[in-house]
Amino acid sequence: MDAVSQWELVGRLILATLLGFLIGLERELRGQPAGERTHSLVALGSAAFALISPRAFPGGDTARVAAGVVTGIGFLGAGMILKEGDEIRGLTTAAGIWAVGAIGVAIGSGMYLLGVVAALLVGLILAAESVLRLDERLERWRSRTRTEEPQEPKSPD
């Protein structure tokens, strides 16, 4: 393998890690349990597996690597989901980890545009909450609907 292609592979690892870092940074700034290190490592590992598979096992089934990454990240994400009373926590973090794994596989496979656009979409989805304050609005709406007395239907006279 020539030096240019070796450097391209290194560039893929760096790009995947950077995108994972940026997504993780948003989670870290919001005080979530999985931050920039976790997201960076998931993106890096996913990209590395996508890079290694076709080179280490030429002619092998590279789809199996992607499936293995998805399964492994699924287990990682499942460990982040907690049920506390009636509340379920960690779903967004688990979904973010899963999405970052896909971004890493895309970048590792050379699908730069797909990986970057996916990272932008993940960032947009995560940032939308803090910009639009949807959780606060939904909670206010829920509390209003809970406190309102149900009205009895009026009889037609």
Domain assignment present for residue 153? The answer is no
pTM of the model: 0.81
Q: Please tell me the predicted confidence (pLDDT) of residue 150.
A: 61
Task: Tell me which amino acid residue 89 is.
Answer: R
Residue pair 12/108 in contact (Cβ under 8 Å)? The answer is: yes
What does the chain come to in residues? Answer: 157
Q: Please tell me the predicted confidence (pLDDT) of residue 141.
A: 85
Q: Please tell me the predicted confidence (pLDDT) of residue 146.
A: 77
Domain assignment present for residue 67? The answer is yes
The kind and range of the H/E element at 87 are strand 87-89
Domain assignment present for residue 155? The answer is no
Q: Please tell me the predicted confidence (pLDDT) of residue 151.
A: 62
Domain assignment present for residue 157? The answer is no
Q: Report the domain count for the chain.
A: 1
CA neighbor of 100 nearest in space, from 82, 83, 123: 123
Q: Which domain holds residue 70?
A: 3-147
Q: Please tell me the predicted confidence (pLDDT) of residue 153.
A: 66
CA neighbor of 17 nearest in space, from 111, 114, 103, 113: 103
Q: pLDDT tens per residue, the chain (157 residues)?
A: 554 589 999 999 999 999 999 999 999 998 888 899 999 999 999 999 999 988 888 888 888 888 999 999 988 888 888 888 888 888 889 999 999 999 999 999 999 999 999 999 999 999 887 778 877 888 888 888 877 656 666 666 5
**Alpha carbons 118 and 86: distance in angstroms, whole number:** 32
Helix, strand or coil, per DSSP, at residue 98: helix
Domain assignment present for residue 156? The answer is no
**Alpha carbons 6 and 20: distance in angstroms, whole number:** 21
